[in-house]
Structure 1
């Protein structure tokens, strides 16, 4: 399959200085956050399950959405507060009478805030768009803003513990039911239960994240001239002379998929 690799063609020895428009990282940080005893918003079905059992386990957890906002810090020029709100969907399994199990889902809302350096900018940035011609959509609140852009990278949370607590038990909840976007509720298998006088499900989660602040920048870089690719595209759907089995035989055997890493190799990857 070597012919499928990217080939630019042309002379790669001829270099020139070109100006590119990209995002420059001004500040960044990494963190691990532990959220203890966070309330899970359940459906009516899930609420009925925890009302009849305390044997619950988490089958999977995934971040389905994150809202990120950037605001300048008062009396600290060039610094910005990055606020992140995670919406996490969890799938649970509860053991009920006679050894039966029931699966249900819920939503957990988590907040995180950091302060990073984002420098200052006095220019307003506007970009051309075909929709804006002849008075298209109204300009949004952040149109032409000179604020930096915050980027959040994270992995799915690590589930540390889960337990059922009685009604009235103190728990951590960063927002009310009406503050969660409808698009998040639509990810659940049913309508959310807003009762406050029944049992609650609490989870503890760990999240690894990397947050950075970026600004547009024009940089001068050395580049090699690149011609039109010499390789022609192959389409086995329309090309009757193309043999799918011959293409399959050219693929490398996935040895790593059949050989799980040893303890030493795994430790090296972790480090």
Structure 2
């Protein structure tokens, strides 16, 4: 096997000073997207559902991403490409008014959204064995990884765009859904979906970045953040026009450098320095 002797390298333009060999997750493909999630049904516990049934009006307060379940499967007859199926779980907090000029009651519920994208993840034919260090114990042997790339999803805090109440007779049919137990435990009980009663629909705006990566050994210099340059392939064909005009919040995904924060002028200048 050929040996590689790595020496520090001075570069004329000052981009980097040395090349290093690292074992890291290489991003083979990624996409960034913003979705307007219209009329997501909010599921409540039995106690909170009784509060919704007595409501005459609601006002949205906030929404938070609880978790994202990801599943990666190879795309048939398309070597190297994989479909990433994602299920988003949101905790939605609203103020519920049961009478005019009354104090609101604040409750939380669950909203869900499914999304699929197709990305390139390359191919591999090896099994990877590794262990984790345990203090005062034998190293724990991890299970060998599957021959699939790892999917990573980054989500910014959702923007609550609207919320509305709907009488049971006015709502579209909504089949009962199976909600994982670990999600239900966050709300302190089962979340219903089949019991007749008023239904709350909420519209959210979310920004996401989805990546497919594999662990490889690379000799690399360091330049800058790798911001996706294309949009995700989404099944939604009816986005909100207002939400489309909101710029992608790059700084929330890629925090500024220390020198960017030392600028005396406020607000800070865009990434790249004070000048």
Bigger fraction of residues in helix: 1
How many residues are paired up?
215
Distance 1:145 1:193 in 2: 36
Match of 1:184 in 2: 183
Question: Cα gap change, 1:118/1:191 in structure 2, threshold over 3 Å: closer, same or farther?
Answer: closer
Distance 2:130 2:159 in 1: 40
Equivalence map 1:7-18=2 (5 Å): 18=20
Question: Cα gap change, 1:130/1:153 in structure 2, threshold over 3 Å: closer, same or farther?
Answer: closer
Match of 1:148 in 2: 149
Distance 2:89 2:111 in 1: 6
Match of 2:159 in 1: 158
Match of 1:78 in 2: 80
Distance 2:141 2:25 in 1: 26
Runs of at least 4 residues of structure 1 off by over 6 A? 12-16, 133-138
Taking only aligned residues, the RMSD between alpha carbons, in angstroms, comes to 3.3
SS of the residue corresponding to residue 49 of structure 1 reads helix
Match of 1:204 in 2: 203
Shift of 1:128: 2.7
Distance 1:195 1:25 in 2: 42
SS of the residue corresponding to residue 46 of structure 1 reads helix
SS of the residue corresponding to residue 131 of structure 2 reads coil
Shift of 1:129: 4.0
State TM-score, norm by structure 1: 0.69
CA contact (8 A) 1:163 1:203 kept: yes
Structure with higher Rg: it is: 1
Question: Cα gap change, 1:107/1:124 in structure 2, threshold over 3 Å: closer, same or farther?
Answer: same
**5+ long unaligned stretches in structure 2:** 1-7, 11-16, 223-260
The structure 2 residue matched to 1:40, chosen from 35, 39, 42, is: 42
SS of the residue corresponding to residue 186 of structure 2 reads coil
Distance 1:255 1:99 in 2: 48
State TM-score, norm by structure 2: 0.68
Match of 2:109 in 1: 106
**5+ long unaligned stretches in structure 1:** 1-11, 224-253
